[in-house]
A and B are shown apart, each in its own frame.
Chain A
Amino acid sequence: AQSVSQHNHHVILSEAASLELGCNYSYGGTVNLFWYVQYPGQHLQLLLKYFSGDPLVKGIKGFEAEFIKSKFSFNLRKPSVQWSDTAEYFCAVTSTGGFKTIFGAGTRLFVKA
Chain B
Amino acid sequence: SQTIHQWPATLVQPVGSPLSLECTVEGTSNPNLYWYRQAAGRGLQLLFYSVGIGQISSEVPQNLSASRPQDRQFILSSKKLLLSDSGFYLCAAGRGGFEQFFGPGTRLTVL
Contact = CB atoms under 8 A, between A and B. Distances in A.
Contact of A100 (B46, B98, B103): B46
Given A43-B104, A100-B59, A105 B43 contact: yes
B88 to A, nearest CB: 11
A103 B47 CA distance: 12
Interface in A55-113: 90, 94-106
Chain B contact-residue range equals 20 to 34
Contact of A103 (B43, B49, B59, B98): B43
Contact of B44 (A32, A51, A90, A97): A90
Contacts of B94: 101
A51 B97 CA distance: 9
B100 A101 contact: yes
A44 B102 contact: yes
Nearest to B94: A101
Given A46-B99, A49-B99, A99 B43 contact: no
- 3 smallest A-B Cβ distances: which pairs? A103-B44, A44-B102, A105-B43
Given A9-B41, A43-B102, A96-B97, 16 more contacts: A4-B43, A43-B103, A43-B105, A45-B102, A95-B97, A97-B96, A97-B97, A98-B97, A99-B51, A99-B57, A100-B59, A101-B34, A101-B100, A103-B44, A106-B41, A106-B43
Interface of B: 4, 32, 34, 36, 41-44, 46, 49, 51, 57, 59, 90, 92, 94, 96-100, 102-105
